[in-house]
């Protein structure tokens, strides 16, 4: 399992560099390691800067499906936005409400190096926007309202 960087690590505030070599063995090894780290950490998304790699790579899981997003670019955003509660593996125990677009269209390259286009709605759109923010050096706490802390003995049950 990879080590997740915690705010205020400076790498989390850097704009990540685009991936240019899709056959890179390091990249192909990193993708499954990121997926495993995200899953074992009970996350729904993980961006490469969170594990110390300042490259434009993120993995997200939604409805038991994992999507690998290399060089993701949100090309369309709905006018409608909605508030939703967010947390982050790099900002443990802190949560807050963030206003995000309800629907987005994102172009990206998948793990096999193929160009993809995805329309995402609701929660999947929220997760992707959160991860793309990471690639731009933005944390959810920069956008959140009503931040609150859950201590380890508290639970959402």
pLDDT tens by residue, 68-121: 999 999 999 999 999 999 999 999 999 999 999 999 999 999 999 999 999 999
Supply the CATH number for residue 92's domain: 3.90.45.10
Terminal C-alpha separation, the chain: 27
CA dihedral of 102, 76, 44, 36, whole degrees rounded to 10? 170
154 within a domain of the structure (yes/no) = no
Q: What is the DSSP letter of 89?
A: T
- Total domain count, the chain: 1
pLDDT of residue 42: 94
86 within a domain of the structure (yes/no) = yes
pLDDT of residue 153: 58
Q: What residue spans of the chain are helical by DSSP H?
A: 25-40, 122-135
Indicate if the pLDDT at residue 156 is higher than 70: no
Look up tokens 């956008």; give the residue.
143
Give the pTM.
Answer: 0.94
157 within a domain of the structure (yes/no) = no
Name the nearest CA neighbour of 58 among 75, 42, 45, 44: 45
Instruction: Give 152's pLDDT tier (boundaries 50, 70, 90).
Output: low
pLDDT of residue 102: 98
Considering the candidates 33, 53, 131, 154, report the single residue annotated as catalytic.
131
4 within a domain of the structure (yes/no) = no
70 within a domain of the structure (yes/no) = yes
Is 82 designated active site?
A: no
99 within a domain of the structure (yes/no) = yes
38/32 Cα distance (integer angstroms): 10
Indicate if the pLDDT at residue 154 is higher than 60: no
pLDDT tens by residue, 15-70: 999 999 888 899 999 999 999 999 999 999 999 999 999 999 999 999 999 999 99
Structure tokens that stand for 27 in this block: 């990249």
Indicate if the pLDDT at residue 151 is higher than 80: no
Name the nearest CA neighbour of 106 among 75, 62, 149: 75
């Amino acid at each position: 399992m990879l080590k997740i960087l915690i705010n205020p690590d400076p790498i989390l505030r850097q704009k990540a560099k685009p991936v240019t070599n899709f056959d890179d063995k390091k990249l192909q090894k990193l993708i499954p390691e990121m997926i495993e780290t995200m899953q074992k950490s009970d996350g729904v998304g993980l961006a490469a800067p969170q594990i110390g790699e300042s490259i434009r790579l993120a993995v997200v899981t939604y409805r038991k499906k994992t999507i690998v997003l290399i060089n993701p670019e949100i090309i369309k955003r709905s006018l409608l936005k909605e508030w939703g509660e967010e947390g982050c593996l790099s900002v443990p125990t802190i949560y807050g409400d963030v206003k995000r677009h309800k629907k987005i269209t994102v172009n990206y390259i998948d793990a096999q190096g193929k160009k993809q286009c995805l329309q995402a709605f609701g929660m999947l759109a929220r997760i992707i926007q959160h991860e793309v923010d990471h690639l731009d050096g933005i944390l959810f706490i920069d956008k959140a309202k009503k931040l609150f802390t859950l201590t380890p003995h508290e639970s959402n049950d």
